[in-house]
Structure formats: C-alpha cells, structure tokens
Amino acid sequence: MSRIETDICIIGAGSGGLSVAAGAVQMGARVVLIESHRMGGDCLNYGCVPSKALLAAAHKAHATARTEFGTEGHAPKTDFAVAKAHVRAAIAQIAPHDSQERFEGLGVRVIRAWGRFVNDREVEAGDTRIRARRIVIATGSSPFVPPIPGLDSVPYLTNETLWQLRARPGHLIVVGGGPIGMEMAQAHRRLGSEVTVLEGARALGRDDPQAAAVVLDRLRAEGVRIEEGVTAAEVRGAEGTIEVLAEDGRSFAGTHLLIAVGRKANTEALNLGAAGIETTKTGVKVDGRLRTTNRRVHAIGDAAGGMQFTHLAGYHAGIVIRQALFGLPATARTDHIPRATYTDPELAQVGLTEAEARKTHGPKLQVARFDYSGNDRALAERRPEGFVKVMVVRGRPVGATIVGHQAGEQIALWALAIANGLKMQALANMVAPYPTIAEVSKRAAGAYFSPRLFDSALVRRVVGTVQRWLP
C-alpha cells in the first residue's frame, strides 16, 4: 500500500469538495481529493444542472403552445429523447470545469476510489493511505427512499435514475411535493406527460403558504394533479402499470413512479467511528465552525446534515479554507443563505418566512409587500402573478419571500442585504433601471417607508410648515 502525507485530504468531489480543493491548492497547500464516483457530484450529474436543463426544454414547449402577443400557439411536437439529449449536452459542457484533468492541472492529487477512515487522521482510498493535517468530509447526499410496502418490488425512479429515461412517461406519479417533486412535475407535464403529485402534508410546505399557493395554482392550471395529505401505504404493479395505494383507501395509477421525498447524507461507508466522529439523524455532527467531534476533520455541504444546497456547500468551503489554511476562526451562518424552487413561476426565500419571523420577533416585526401586478415590466410581459414580501425588524430585513418571474434572480439582492446587515433605507436608495423586474424589490423597500411618509400627521405638519416659509 502506498502512503501520502498532505495538508488537506478531501473526501468527495462534489461542489463543496471541489471548491475546497481548488482554493487550497491555488494558495499553496498540498491537497488530495478522493472521489469514487463522478466528478462534480450530484449537482452536475443528477441535480441542479440536469433538472434546469430539462426545465428549459419544458419552458420552450410551453411557450410554443401559448397564443399571445399576436402569435398563434400550437400543440408542440416534443421529442423527449432530444430533450434528454439537451440535458446530457448541458452536463458535458460544464463537466470539464469539474474534471479530474483540470484539478490535476491545478496540482491536486486525485484518487478515484472510495475513502474510509482508519484512524483519527488517516484515510484509505483503494491501495493508498493518506495522512493529513486536516480532512474534509464532502460526500454529499443521496435520494432517501422511504420504506413503503411493495416499493422494493416495483420499478421506481429517483433524481439519480430519472435521467436514464429516453421515452416520455405516459403518466408520471411523483411521491413528494417538495421543490424537486414540483419542478419535475411541471417539466414532465409541459413535455406531454400526465402527472400526479402525492404529498403527505402540504405541497411546498416549507415555504410561505401565500407564495406556495401562487405556484400550485399555476401547476394545477397546467394540468398537474396535486393531492395533499396523501400518505402512500403500498405500491404495487410492474413496469408501465404502477399503482400507489393511500392510507385513506384511494389509489393512484400511472406508468412511472418518481420518489422525491428528500435526501440522506452519504456517511455510512466512511467508517467514522475509527476517527471518533459522531453523527446525527441528518448527517455528521458539526459545531458552528463545521468541525466534527474530531477537531482535525470538518464536514461541509449535505454531509454536515443541515440545509442541502450547492451554494451552501460552496460557502462552507470558504469557512473551512479560512481555518485550515490560515488558522483563523470562522463560523458558518445560515440566515443569509437563499433557496429557490425553479418552477414557473419561481419561488425564492432568504432568511425567515413571515410565520418564522412572527414567532421569533413578535410585535417587533413589520412586513412590507409589493405585488408583481404593480410592475410595468411584468405587465408588459404578461407576468403579473406573484409578489415580494420582506420581513423587517428595527429597520433591517430578516427575511424575504419572492414568488414570480425570475424570483431566483431577484432574491440575491435580499441575500446581499441580510448578509451585510443593510437597512431598508439602503434598498430604498437603490435606483433600478426601468422597466425591470428588479423594481419589485425596490418598491417593496419603498412600501416599508410609505406609511411613515404618507400616513403620518407629523410629516404633514412639517411639510405644511416648510411650505409656508419657502420663498
């Protein structure tokens, strides 16, 4: 067995692991990167990139079918295999950036094998043992498959196997009404499939109910059947004829089944006990600095058991680099981390929702809102559905909800504001180009100040006095 001594050993070449590797090696550290599967991880190969590529194809099909702006729509002739070829092409275009060749070119030692701990500071990968000053667990997560009776004998899809389909599903049943389930439901519906979504609680239940309703109304209008409060009790059938039986006695039949009920951290094969690393129900146990119970080892991204976003893993990478390379304390926070669901319309959130803010701040909370229907660009493009809602405490935003056209783009402004502790005055002072969707955020900031300016007797008296004295 060969041996390597290094500064940093990273297990997992997904978004977080690649970010640590690239940053550390370019700043002079010796880096070993271990990956047993595909470079780029879930985001590139099964998650963010392929799902957004398929949504783009679905958007094109939907736009073709609409009659508006003087253009007559017609039923699109969709070729599902070509749509999937577009997905593969998108992955192929991005893959070189995450490739083994690129990282070896940067100076990273890449080992293509599964890594496992042998003691508190050594990892084995294939026929190599790596001893490192700091080790980073960046193994990501996998689809969680619930123990539904009969599921083990019925063909089903997850976000990892969905992309293998080349023929369009006749009727796709989606178990799970979260972001992944709703995105794939709309994509397949727009590409010609019948779609039924089964959700045990409330669809898009983590999000603001008013905002979620805007999205769900659109999906239902497009023909997606969404059944809430439905718990799957049994699955039966065979390829092409699948039936889901609910606890309330109802049954739902389709040709394909997609399981989208959440994800679980990939930690089982790491032999964490050998390194003195504890886990929780959701992943590796970490402190505020992302250190595990073995202080030489950090865990980042999905493996750390918290929020599961590619951009969070990238943020975690910066926290680890600051500590591992420069010995500087750095604490991870989550209040400024945005999330987005890329349905049409999109739904985005940063910080606290209204319900969370009311529970946390009580009467100190003020809510400012502006509707897309008051935005000229939205009206010009016939995109009037949606709104911006900002939760404000002592003049500073603590959360923002956006549902509507380009919500995922617009939430970045509020993430910036919360990350830097900006006051609402800073947002109100912004001058957005006209006409843009970005104006909805500026108008929401203005809506926070409007009662103070237009409904204030004091302001009226001051203005009246000033007017009498002005020449």
Task: Tell me the pLDDT band of 459, cut-offs 50, 70 and 90.
Answer: low
Q: Are residues 125 and 273 in the same domain?
A: yes
What digits encode the pLDDT tens for the residues 102-143? 999 999 999 999 999 999 999 999 999 999 999 999 999 999
Q: Are 123 and 117 in contact (CB under 8 A)?
A: yes
Q: What was the pLDDT predicted at 70?
A: 67
Give a yes or no: residue 385 inside a domain: yes
Q: Are residues 225 and 190 in the same domain?
A: yes
Task: Tell me the pLDDT band of 453, cut-offs 50, 70 and 90.
Answer: low
Q: Please give the DSSP secondary-structure letter assigned to residue 168.
A: P
Range of the domain at 223: 151-262
Q: Which residues are registered as beta bridge partners of 10?
A: 33, 136
Q: How far apart (Å, rounded) are the C-alpha atoms in residues 172 and 268? A: 31
Global confidence as pTM: 0.94
What digits encode the pLDDT tens for the residues 196-232? 999 999 999 999 999 999 999 999 999 999 999 999 9
Q: Are residues 275 and 257 in the same domain?
A: no
Give a yes or no: residue 209 inside a domain: yes
Give a yes or no: residue 442 inside a domain: yes
Task: State the CATH number of the domain containing residue 367.
Answer: 3.30.390.30
Give a yes or no: residue 16 inside a domain: yes
Q: Which of 262, 277, 301 is the last residue of a domain?
A: 262
Q: How far apart (Å, rounded) are the C-alpha atoms in residues 429 and 424? A: 9
Give a yes or no: residue 60 inside a domain: no
Q: Which two tokens stand for residue 91?
A: 């992955």
Q: Are residues 130 and 158 in the same domain?
A: no
Q: How far apart (Å, rounded) are the C-alpha atoms in residues 449 and 452? A: 5
What digits encode the pLDDT tens for the residues 224-235? 999 999 999 999
Q: How far apart (Å, rounded) are the C-alpha atoms in residues 139 and 42? A: 10
Q: What was the pLDDT predicted at 77?
A: 80
What digits encode the pLDDT tens for the residues 342-387? 999 999 999 999 999 999 999 999 999 999 999 999 999 999 999 9
Numbers of helices and strands, H then E, in the chain: 14, 21
Q: Are residues 181 and 308 in the same domain?
A: no
What digits encode the pLDDT tens for the residues 244-255? 999 999 999 999
What digits encode the pLDDT tens for the residues 67-111? 676 666 667 788 899 999 999 999 999 999 999 999 999 999 999
Domain count, the chain: 3
Q: Are residues 23 and 130 in the same domain?
A: yes
Q: How far apart (Å, rounded) are the C-alpha atoms in residues 219 and 223? A: 7
Q: How far apart (Å, rounded) are the C-alpha atoms in residues 344 and 381? A: 14
